[in-house]
């Protein structure tokens, strides 16, 4: 989550972060759990009041400082990076007396490159954390500077935009990074082939039941199309169909099954719901709704969806997630499977912090604050140069597309995973429409807040158990996800026993103890 992140690129988890943005100035939503005055929100409010007069004065008598800032992607070429830097500098130089050096970083190298760069004394100023390199790990690695004093002195816009997620930006009460998802409500969803649904008379709607999806599978079977593919996946696919607050990518540290109402962490693999999910998958496989070769065919479900060989795929749901699933050969649709939820995981999916070795943390905060304040700057760093990397969609106010541009193949400038600035001040990518801003606000206003919001589990005490749990899930979960077991109950019992032996319930007990302490119990 969104939101958010990240769910079908990198096995359905990260793609929720691929394309997001907005472009008007509606007020930030008040999230349910954040409406009550807490120490964190009070502190954020005090910071905003202290900075009402504006950020600290900029010294234009000194030489401009060049700020190195990372953007996260896959293998984009970014051939026109200098043109983007020139356009960014045209904004930053007269406003904060600073220029930028944008440094693309492959997502798989985030942790190692950042920690080694800090240790080796390389020039690093603003770094990205989250995604595959968590905030808690970055703090324990000594990568990040505390930000509270800098925010109070030089970050009024940053404080204001992120005030509803301030608690999630802290470790042990100290702010270390700023959220790229200040509107962080997210839930599970399904992306589907709307063209096919219309042709075959399949009614897709929010919060569909498993029986309704099963009926859709029967219709699709008659037309030679598979419903979906779950095979060879060791992640908790159930999470995309339920409103859980999940600790760990597959609930290996436990989950809150009713996060807005209960703070009791449970083992999802011991739940009746999980076994019913596995029974449903077996029905789908036995009935021919899932590919027979799904355990051996390495083709991703994303590719099968794009090739129209499967009808749907699980994904995270946010108001802009449809942009991830756009296909030139058919119209895509998106439904949500549960109520929107505000979680720590949604807020920390993509964050920006200041490197512990930065020579000018003050200039870094000036830039971070400007990114949240200036929608044009945020749009530049997110999407590149207008006319080169994108154009405005005719008939819209804030919607852009890369179609028809010199860099439509994203070879000019493109950043798959980075997410900068205030989403109410940026443009938005087609097929999302100008309605997005109202949808985003409504979605977040409607969202409930997890009782664990702001809390992150520290698993440092359980490295052996974490490795053992992961090994068990990789071995036993794919067959259950695929529905390719002869006896569901026996297979689930075997999984539960193996997870218990690996220490999962001990880890969950430790997680509960930490959460209780966080909540002051």
Instruction: Give the containing element (helix H, strand E) for 45.
Output: helix 39-50
Is there a contact between 334 and 186 (Cβ–Cβ < 8 Å)?
no
| Residue that has been written with the tokens 């043109």 in this structure | 83
Report the alpha-carbon distance of residue 454 to residue 515 in Å, rounded. 10
Give the domain ranges of the chain: 1-23+54-185+340-453
The encoded tokens of residue 398 equal: 């804030």
Is there a contact between 375 and 422 (Cβ–Cβ < 8 Å)?
yes
Least confident piece of the model among 41-45, 198-202, 466-470, 478-482: 41-45
The encoded tokens of residue 415 equal: 């950043």
Left (φ > 0), alpha (ψ -120 to 50) or beta: where does 520 sit? Answer: left
Please give the pLDDT value at position 179.
Answer: 97
Say whether pLDDT at 15 is over 80: no
Strands of the 391-392 sheet, one edge to the other: 391-392, 399-401, 428-429
Tell me which of 14 and 157 has the higher pLDDT. 157
Tell me which of 53 and 487 has the higher pLDDT. 487
Is the pTM of the predicted complex or chain greater than 0.85? no
126 by DSSP, 3-state: which? strand
Mean pLDDT of 119-134: 93
Say whether pLDDT at 207 is over 50: yes
The encoded tokens of residue 366 equal: 């000036």
β-strands 98-106, 65-73 pairing: parallel
| Residue that has been written with the tokens 């009460």 in this structure | 173
Least confident piece of the model among 168-172, 230-234, 396-400, 494-498: 230-234
193 by DSSP, 3-state: which? strand
Say whether pLDDT at 14 is over 90: no
Report the alpha-carbon distance of residue 325 to residue 194 in Å, rounded. 11
- Residue 489 Cα distances to 276, 334, 432, 486, angstroms: 9, 32, 43, 9
91 by DSSP, 3-state: which? helix
- Residue 364 Cα distances to 101, 350, 469, angstroms: 12, 17, 40
Report the alpha-carbon distance of residue 505 to residue 507 in Å, rounded. 5
Question: Residue 73 CB: number of other CB atoms within 10 A?
Answer: 17
Is there a contact between 248 and 444 (Cβ–Cβ < 8 Å)?
no
Report the alpha-carbon distance of residue 202 to residue 343 in Å, rounded. 32
Tens-digit pLDDT profile for residues 443-461: 999 999 999 999 999 888 9
The encoded tokens of residue 295 equal: 């355990």
Tens-digit pLDDT profile for residues 127-186: 999 988 999 889 999 999 999 999 999 999 999 999 999 999 999 999 999 999 999 999
Please give the pLDDT value at position 477.
Answer: 96
Report the alpha-carbon distance of residue 173 to residue 470 in Å, rounded. 30
What are the E-state strand segments in 311-404? 312-317, 332-336, 341-342, 350-354, 391-392, 399-401
pLDDT averaged over every residue in the chain: 89
Mean pLDDT of 280-301: 94
Report the alpha-carbon distance of residue 140 to residue 457 in Å, rounded. 13
N-term to C-term CA, the chain: 28
Phi then psi dihedrals of residue 35, to 5 deg: -75, -30
Length of the chain measured in residues: 521
Is there a contact between 129 and 344 (Cβ–Cβ < 8 Å)?
no
Of 213, 170, 171, 161, the C-alpha closest to 189 is 213
Of 304, 310, 311, the C-alpha closest to 335 is 311
Is there a contact between 144 and 112 (Cβ–Cβ < 8 Å)?
no
The encoded tokens of residue 91 equal: 């904004």
Which residues fall within 8 angstroms of residue 401, CB to CB, at 6 or more apart?
390, 391, 393, 429, 430
Least confident piece of the model among 31-40, 153-162, 301-310, 353-362: 31-40
Tens-digit pLDDT profile for residues 331-384: 999 999 999 999 999 999 999 999 999 999 999 999 999 999 999 999 999 999
- pLDDT tier at 55, thresholds 50, 70, 90: low
Of 185, 149, 195, 135, the C-alpha closest to 43 is 149
Report the alpha-carbon distance of residue 387 to residue 408 in Å, rounded. 11
Is there a contact between 171 and 135 (Cβ–Cβ < 8 Å)?
yes
Q: b or e along 469-487 (b: 16 or more beta carbons within 10 Å of the residue's beta carbon)?
A: bbebbeebbbbbbbbbbee
Say whether pLDDT at 400 is over 90: yes
If you classify domain 1-23+54-185+340-453 with CATH, what class do you get?
Answer: alpha beta
Which residues fall within 8 angstroms of residue 42, CB to CB, at 6 or more apart?
none
Is there a contact between 348 and 17 (Cβ–Cβ < 8 Å)?
no
The encoded tokens of residue 221 equal: 């079977």
């Amino acid at each position: 989550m969104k939101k958010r992140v990240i769910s079908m690129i990198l096995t359905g988890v990260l793609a929720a972060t691929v394309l997001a943005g907005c472009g008007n100035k509606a007020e930030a939503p008040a999230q349910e759990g954040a409406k009550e005055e807490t120490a964190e929100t009070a502190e954020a409010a005090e910071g905003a009041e202290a900075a009402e007069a504006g950020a600290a004065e900029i010294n234009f008598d000194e030489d401009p400082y060049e700020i190195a800032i990372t953007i996260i992607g896959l293998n984009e070429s970014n051939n026109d990076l200098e043109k983007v830097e020139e356009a960014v500098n045209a904004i930053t130089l007269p406003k904060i007396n600073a220029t930028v050096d944008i440094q693309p970083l492959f997502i798989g190298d985030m942790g190692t490159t950042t920690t080694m760069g800090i240790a080796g004394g390389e020039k690093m100023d603003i770094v990205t954390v989250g995604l595959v390199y968590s905030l808690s790990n970055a703090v324990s690695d000594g990568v990040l500077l505390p930000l509270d004093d800098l925010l109070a002195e030089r970050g009024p816009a940053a404080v204001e935009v992120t005030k509803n997620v301030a608690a999630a930006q802290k470790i042990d009460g100290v702010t270390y990074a700023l959220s790229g998802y200040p509107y962080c409500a997210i839930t599970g969803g399904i992306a589907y082939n709307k063209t096919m649904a219309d042709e075959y008379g399949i009614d897709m709607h929010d919060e569909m039941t498993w029986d309704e999806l099963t009926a859709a599978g029967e219709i699709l079977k008659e037309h030679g199309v598979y419903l979906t593919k779950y095979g060879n996946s060791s992640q908790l696919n159930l999470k995309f169909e339920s409103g859980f607050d999940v600790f760990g990518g597959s609930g290996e540290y436990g989950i809150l099954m009713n996060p807005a109402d209960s703070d009791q962490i449970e083992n999802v693999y011991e739940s009746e719901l999980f076994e019913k999910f596995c029974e449903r998958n077996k029905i789908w496989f036995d009935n021919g709704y899932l590919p027979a070769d799904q355990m051996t065919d390495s083709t991703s479900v994303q590719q099968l969806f794009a090739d129209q060989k499967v009808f749907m795929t699980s994904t995270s749901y946010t108001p802009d997630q449809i942009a991830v699933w756009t296909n030139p050969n058919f119209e895509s649709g998106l439904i949500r499977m549960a109520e929107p939820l505000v979680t720590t995981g949604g807020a920390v999916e993509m964050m920006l912090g200041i490197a512990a070795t930065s020579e000018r943390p003050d200039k870094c905060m000036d830039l971070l604050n400007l990114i949240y304040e200036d929608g044009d700057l945020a749009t530049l760093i997110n999407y590149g140069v207008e006319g080169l990397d994108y154009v405005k969609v005719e008939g819209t106010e804030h919607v852009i597309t890369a179609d028809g541009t010199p860099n439509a193949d994203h070879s000019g400038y493109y950043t798959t995973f980075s997410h900068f600035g205030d989403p109410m001040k940026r443009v938005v990518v087609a097929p999302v429409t100008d309605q997005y801003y109202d949808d985003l606000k409504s979605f977040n206003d409607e969202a409930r807040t997890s009782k664990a919001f702001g809390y992150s589990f520290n698993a440092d005490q359980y490295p052996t158990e974490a490795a053992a749990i992961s090994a068990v899930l990789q071995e036993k979960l794919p067959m259950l996800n695929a529905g390719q077991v002869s006896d569901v109950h026996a297979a689930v019992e075997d999984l539960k026993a193996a997870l218990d032996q690996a220490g999962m319930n001990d880890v969950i007990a430790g997680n509960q103890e930490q959460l209780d302490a966080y909540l002051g119990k």
